[in-house]
């Protein structure tokens, strides 16, 4: 199916879940989709594991947390939610609800300094060990705002999110998760690995490989 200007395909006979919605109707949003210029040299699940890796939010991104993300994480059959309310080192306050859907979709609704925006990254796997990463960023025009002003806000949140991602990207390539090396601070990440291990798999070409 096509959503947000991106074409999605489900690996199986029937999709088990839908492409996630933003908090506001798509028709009311100014929305922009694009592609990260370089492939990431890891599988999509490694990129998704960045979100439940709660230790890195304070240790790498240096967020000053206002909530307890360990307490606030919730799990659904085909998604998980990791709310974050924090002041970023540059000053803006994020109150966001990042989610992982399936094993390759990152989807986030929330506010920066009180203004709503949406930000998602969608991972394709063109070949094992590589991810092609697409994104969608969106905002709601405020009353009395010109399209140029809304676009300026989109530029601002895209830059903010890209600067956070730029801290993660160099680390992805060297990320090697090893059983037995997790700590208490990784307990939400450990739960995410369990989610991944038990996630339904589909192998449409299995019959041809016997
Ligand atoms: Fe990160």
Count of domains forming the chain: 1
pLDDT band at 190; cut points 50, 70, 90: very high
In a domain, 4, yes or no: no
Q: How far, in Å, from the CA of 186 to the mean position of ligand 1? A: 14
Tens digit of each residue's pLDDT (9 = 90 or more) over 57-66: 999 999 999 9
In a domain, 16, yes or no: no
**What's the average model confidence in pLDDT over 71-75?**
98
> Residue 163 belongs to what domain range?
32-198
- Cα angle value 80/84/89 (rounded, 5°): 140
Arithmetic mean of pLDDT over the chain:
94
Using a CB cutoff of 5 Å, list residues around ligand 1, an ion.
50, 168
CA distance 86 to 91: 10
> Could you tell me the distance, in angstroms and rounded to a whole number, from the CA of residue 14 to the centre of ligand 1?
32
Q: How far is the CA of 21 from the centre of ligand 1 (A)?
A: 22
Asked if residues 36 and 133 have their Cβ atoms less than 8 Å apart, the reply is yes
* Average pLDDT of the segment spanning 14-18: 91
User: Residue 68: is its pLDDT beyond 80?
Assistant: yes
CATH assignment of the domain containing 81: 3.90.380.10
- Per the domain annotation, does 6 fall within a domain? no
Query: What is the structure's pLDDT at 210?
Result: 65
Residue 83 Cα, ligand 1 centroid: separation in angstroms? 13
Residue 172 Cα to ligand 1 midpoint, Å, equals 10
pLDDT, tens digit, for every residue of 124-178? 999 989 999 999 999 999 999 999 999 999 999 999 999 999 999 889 888 888 8
């Amino acid at each position: 199916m096509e959503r947000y200007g991106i074409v999605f395909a489900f690996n199986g006979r029937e999709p088990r879940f839908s492409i996630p919605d933003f908090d506001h109707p798509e028709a009311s949003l100014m929305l922009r989709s694009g592609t990260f210029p370089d492939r990431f040299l890891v599988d999509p699940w490694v990129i998704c594991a960045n979100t439940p890796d709660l230790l890195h939010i304070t240790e790498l991104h240096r967020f000053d947390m206002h909530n307890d993300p360990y307490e606030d994480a919730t799990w659904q059959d085909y998604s998980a939610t990791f709310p974050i309310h924090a002041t970023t080192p540059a000053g803006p306050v994020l109150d966001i609800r990042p989610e992982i859907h399936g094993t390759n979709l990152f989807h986030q609704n929330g506010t920066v300094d009180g203004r709503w925006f949406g930000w998602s990254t969608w991972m394709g796997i063109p070949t094992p060990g590589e991810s092609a990463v697409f994104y969608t960023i969106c905002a709601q025009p405020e009353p009395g705002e010109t399209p140029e002003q809304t676009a300026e806000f989109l530029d601002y949140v895209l830059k903010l999110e890209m600067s956070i991602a730029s801290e993660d990207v160099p680390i992805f390539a060297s990320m090697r998760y090893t059983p037995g090396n997790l700590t208490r601070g990784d307990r939400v990440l450990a739960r995410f690995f369990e989610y991944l291990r038990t996630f339904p798999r589909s192998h449409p070409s299995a019959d041809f490989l016997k």
